[in-house]
């Protein structure tokens, strides 16, 4: 398996993985909307042979410092719990840090995302419609975020019904 940047030829396969992983079309539509609006900073695929088996997208946020939103992250159902999602997230974190981003925010399962360093406590001072125990932040390049309070706004695609 390799992890690489999405290409235009991957769009249909990404849509299929997102729909299969979430058992609904909303996340697939969110990915398409982020891409179409130019709010995707980078989108990664996990590929085995010629088959896309996983996907993760990192998108723009309005925040008090340069930060990204992670998600959705999707893995083909038969390949879940085999490390595919973890590999996508680790590669995305490394690329984010190398590009100079200072933090990543995610809404997800704390038991899963804590293993990468995401922490609900680090996100708790930020105003967001997603605030709560599943709203987490990861500082990049240091142990703390540049500030511990402020307002976070996701790309407009996140506010669409779906």
pLDDT of residue 162: 58
- The CB density around residue 111, as the number of other CB atoms within 10 Å, is 7
In the chain, pLDDT over 70 holds for what percent of residues?
99
Give, as one character, the DSSP assignment of residue 85: H
Which residues does 51 contact at the CB level (< 8 Å), separation at least 6?
13
The residue among 21, 124, 10 whose CA lies nearest residue 71 is 21
Nearest 10 degrees: CA dihedral of 74, 78, 79, 82? 120
41-62 pLDDT per residue, tens? 999 999 999 999 999 999 999 9
Q: Is this model's pTM higher than 0.75 or not?
A: yes
User: Mutual orientation of helices 26-37 and 11-22 as an angle, nearest 10°?
Assistant: 140
Mean pLDDT of the 69-75 span: 97
Domains of the chain, residue spans: 2-155
Measured on CA atoms in the order 120, 117, 57, 13, is the torsion positive or negative? Answer: negative
Average pLDDT, the chain: 96
Nearest 10 degrees: CA dihedral of 2, 99, 70, 91? 20
105-125 pLDDT per residue, tens? 999 999 999 999 999 999 999
pLDDT over 90 at 142, yes or no: no
1-41 pLDDT per residue, tens? 999 999 999 999 999 999 999 999 999 999 999 999 999 99
In the chain, pLDDT over 90 holds for what percent of residues?
96
pLDDT over 90 at 160, yes or no: no
Q: Which CATH class is domain 2-155?
A: alpha beta
Rounded Cα distance, 139 and 91, in Å: 15
pLDDT of residue 123: 97
pLDDT of residue 49: 93
Would you say 59 and 68 are in contact if contact means Cβ atoms under 8 Å apart? yes
pLDDT over 90 at 161, yes or no: no
């Amino acid at each position: 398996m390799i992890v690489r940047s999405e290409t235009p030829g991957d769009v249909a396969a990404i849509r299929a993985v997102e729909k299969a992983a979430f058992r609904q079309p909303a996340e697939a539509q969110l990915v398409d909307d982020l891409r179409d609006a130019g709010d995707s900073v980078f989108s990664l695929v996990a590929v085995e042979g010629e088959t896309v088996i996983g996907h993760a997208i990192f998108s723009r946020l309005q925040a008090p410092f340069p930060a990204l939103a992670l998600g959705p992250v999707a893995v083909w159902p038969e390949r879940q719990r085999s490390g595919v999602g973890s590999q996508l997230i680790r590669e995305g974190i490394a690329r984010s840090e190398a590009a100079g981003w200072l933090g990543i925010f995610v809404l997800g399962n704390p038991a899963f995302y804590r293993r990468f360093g995401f922490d609900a406590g680090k996100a708790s001072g930020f105003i967001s419609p997603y605030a709560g125990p599943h709203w987490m932040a990861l500082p990049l390049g240091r142990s703390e975020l540049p500030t511990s309070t402020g307002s976070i706004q996701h790309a407009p695609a996140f506010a669409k019904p779906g």
